[in-house]
Amino acid sequence: MWSHVVDRFHAYYTKVKLRDGRTVIRKNKALDEKRLCGALKDARKSLKYLQRAIDGHIQNLRTVLDMTYGRTGKRRRQLISKLQAPRPLIDDASVAILSAQISQTPRSKRVPELTDELSALLKSQIKQQSSRFDRAPLRELSPKVPAVNIWQRKFPEKRRVNFIKAWYAKTLDRLMPPLEAVEWEKLQGLAAGKVHWDGPVPQRKLGTTKIKDSGDSYKVAKGDLPHRLTTSTERIVEKEKHPEIISRPHQLTPRFMRRLWSNVFQKCPRLDWNNERKKWDVTWGNIQKQAELAIHPQKKLFPDMFDGVDEDGQIHQHGGKSSPGSLVE
């Protein structure tokens, strides 16, 4: 492992021996420029992806929101790693027992175990509908290791360890990590429309540069202007030139963003410790959509129009009696 890490940097740094006998490490400029070209290519690709999300392309915007709230990407792995860390042992006896177990078990036979947080989260996610998640559904709370192999012999210990490790990695890949309480409540407010959203930050107009120490004032830029689609007409022309572009931009309205936040919020759980039950409670995001009726169902629209008519449609005469056969047509 040490060689694997160090050799990655040896390609960009070389040892040079000077005339006085000293040895110094210098950068390999040729490889450094090659590495810089690759980094700039990745940066331009990410910038273009963000620009499409800001323009309102739904697929790009959904991916950016999933990466922001840890449903995919680097932040998701960071949230999962927090749940993998076991609780610190305060009792000396527990520390001694655990250290003895680790020392007696060979490294090749050690298997990963689910923590209490991961177990509670796994049980809760299995009960949820798999349609809300973008990943394959979870079905097993523990790995089902076969007792015998295809030759009806005892299952080898090495295969058993590898089987458990593969199940553990597959489970973590499909698990949705929880968010902190503050972030979870803020996302809930954004999805329900209770938290005010100011809208996207106004972008600089094409062909202008910002004037220093002048607030939001801009001036016309000099030189070649960067190519970027700004109007609907230019987008239509660009789509005709490039028919592979399927998605069209959407205007970032509060209603449109609430729908996207609600989609992300359904995939975000929250872990809370229950002192009475001595276990972790898992709460999943859910926004109940209730249609607002323009007119209350119990309110009569035209109360005077049907005066003197009973429920059977018969017209009442003076004195409150209805005439036989007098039905409203």
Q: What does the pLDDT look like over 235-246, one tens digit per residue?
A: 555 555 655 555
Neighbours of 24 (CB within 10 A): 9
Provide the percentage of residues in the chain whose pLDDT is more than 90. Answer: 29
Is the pLDDT reported for residue 306 higher than 50? yes
Instruction: Give me the amino acid identity at 129.
Output: Q
- pLDDT, the chain, mean: 76
Is the pLDDT reported for residue 329 higher than 50? no
Q: Span 299-321, mean pLDDT? A: 62
Q: Which two tokens stand for residue 189?
A: 């407010």
Q: What is the 3 state secondary structure string of 179-204?
A: CCHHHHHHHHHHHHCCCCCCCCCCCC
Q: Span 220-249, mean pLDDT? A: 52
Is the pLDDT reported for residue 316 higher than 60? yes
Sorted by sequence, the CB contacts under 8 Å of residue 60 that are 6+ apart come out as 49, 50, 52, 53
Q: What is the pLDDT of residue 47?
A: 86
64 and 50 in contact (C-beta within 8 Å)?
A: yes
Is the pLDDT reported for residue 67 higher than 60? yes
Better-scored residue on pLDDT, 268 or 215: 268
Q: Span 123-138, mean pLDDT? A: 86
Better-scored residue on pLDDT, 321 or 179: 179
Q: What is the pLDDT of residue 257?
A: 93
Provide the 3-class DSSP secondary structure of residue 126.
Answer: helix
176 and 268 in contact (C-beta within 8 Å)?
A: yes
Q: What is the pLDDT of residue 310?
A: 73
Better-scored residue on pLDDT, 257 or 29: 257
Sorted by sequence, the CB contacts under 8 Å of residue 87 that are 6+ apart come out as 115, 116
Q: What is the pLDDT of residue 262?
A: 93
Q: Span 277-304, mean pLDDT? A: 70
> 248 phi and psi, to 5 degrees?
-120, 150
Q: Which of 84-98, 271-285, 305-319 is modeled with the greatest confidence?
A: 271-285
Q: What is the pLDDT of residue 212?
A: 53
Question: Any idea which of 43-47, 62-66, 274-278, 317-321 has the lowest mean pLDDT?
Answer: 317-321
Q: What is the pLDDT of residue 226?
A: 45
Better-scored residue on pLDDT, 10 or 252: 252
Q: CA–CA separation, 38 vs 42, rounded Å?
A: 6
* Confidence category of residue 80, pLDDT binned at 50, 70, 90: very high
Q: What is the pLDDT of residue 211?
A: 55
Q: What is the pLDDT of residue 227?
A: 46
Q: Which residues pair with 274 in a beta bridge?
A: 279
Q: Span 215-230, mean pLDDT? A: 48
Q: Span 53-81, mean pLDDT? A: 91
Question: Any idea which of 18-27, 180-189, 199-208 has the lowest mean pLDDT?
Answer: 199-208
Sorted by sequence, the CB contacts under 8 Å of residue 125 that are 6+ apart come out as 133, 138, 175, 176, 269
Q: Which residues pair with 25 in a beta bridge?
A: 15
